[in-house]
Amino acid sequence: MAFIRPFRALRPVPELASSIAELPYDVMDSQEARDLIKKNPLSFIKVTRAEATLPENIADNDPQVYEAAKNNLADYVSKGQLKQDAQPCYYIYRQQMGQYIQIGLVAVASVEEYKQNIIKKHELTRVDKETDRVNHIMATKAQTGPVFLAYRSQGLLNALLLKFMGNHQPVYDFTSSDEIKHTLYVVDDPIRVGEITELFKQVPHMYIADGHHRSAAALRVAEELAKRPNQTGEEEYNYFLAVIFPDTMLHILAYNRVVKDLKGLSVEAFMTAVAKNFTVEIQKREPEPKELHTFGMFIAGRWYSLKAKENTFKADDPIQSLDVSILQNNLLTPILGIQDPRTDKRISFVGGIKGTKKLEELVSNGKYAVAFAMYPTSMDQLMAVADKGLIMPPKSTWFEPKLRDAMTIHLIGDEQDGKSI
């Protein structure tokens, strides 16, 4: 079963929530963070990418960066811009992007259940990225950004959250600059809190949709702090901040690919090679693929549709049947020589939120030779991979809308358990 518990969130005072809450640290680089702070000095990116508040010659992983994160977080608190709730609560986080709505429960999840694979993974992590978040948590004594979790939809729990929203006013309700509407409700009634905790015990597994490095870092922090004497296992560091959504509400967009060159092939030779494993047609409709195992390809000023031939994949294999695997195994590797998309500098990835026009732009301006528009991976595919303990190829999923950091912050130090880390 999945065990969650309420917590005392540190969060913005309502009148400043729209200014402080910010996109995750890993969707922008340091320069973009600097530009953001110039436009909005209250942006929480000062904590999550604290290097943007320091001289440009300081490395992203310099100890000064984590000290700055700690000080910048303390500054919000000292100025009364962030305040901690007096008692443990759950929080309901509603996001709306156009007509699309997703509603998640903000809670803390068990590090031990993550370790035992009750909270299932589908991606590999990089040690350097884990270490960055470990250092950030240890310095700030806080988990400042949530892990994005999913569970197979459970009717009673969903109904309880919807009923609560219908009977209560939100504490935050604002629209961010990217036109995403963010609404947060506080569940502080002990009876409702207890009901949610008990209902969640009926959920057998949760799945990491996004946030593998955050959850892995939380485990490393917990294992280090557990070495201290007189630990009970109930300390706040044994839990990590999460927003948990029913799978039926999640919106996965395509994660598209662009490649810088054709590995010395002419366009004609490249197209001939592609046709061995794909049915190729000039695209006269919208370039976005409309079904599994189909791809849009933009090259030499024209869109084509590609449909994988039946002998190119195993339909009953949860990894090999993924569109990202089909493209990799039948085109990117054998024709373009891209062996490892994690490390090859010739390939880049473009979130589907940017649309196919971005792919056209990148090829038309000469930065890339060819672009591929993907059909989105489904939640069923993601969960099938995770259930078998397998690992998805890199850049398989792009979730939108993105959760905002600082809507709720989980403190793991003095403020909650009376102990110092």
pTM of the full structure: 0.90
Q: How do residues 358-380 score in pLDDT, each as one tens digit? A: 999 999 999 999 999 999 999 99
* Phi, psi of 227, deg, nearest 5: -75, -15
CA angle in degrees (0–180, nearest 5) for 21-213-181: 25
Residue 168 in tokens? 């209560």
H or E element: which one contains 303? Answer: strand 302-308
Separation between Cα atoms, residue 336 and residue 302, nearest integer Å: 19
10-residue mean pLDDT series, the chain (421 residues): 93 98 92 96 97 94 96 98 98 96 97 96 91 97 97 90 95 96 97 94 93 96 95 95 95 94 98 98 89 97 96 93 97 97 93 93 97 96 95 91 96 55 33
Residue 98 in tokens? 């156009």
Helices vs. strands in the chain: H and E counts, helices first: 14, 21
The answer to whether 327 touches 341, Cβ cutoff 8 Å, is no
The DSSP output letter for 50 is G
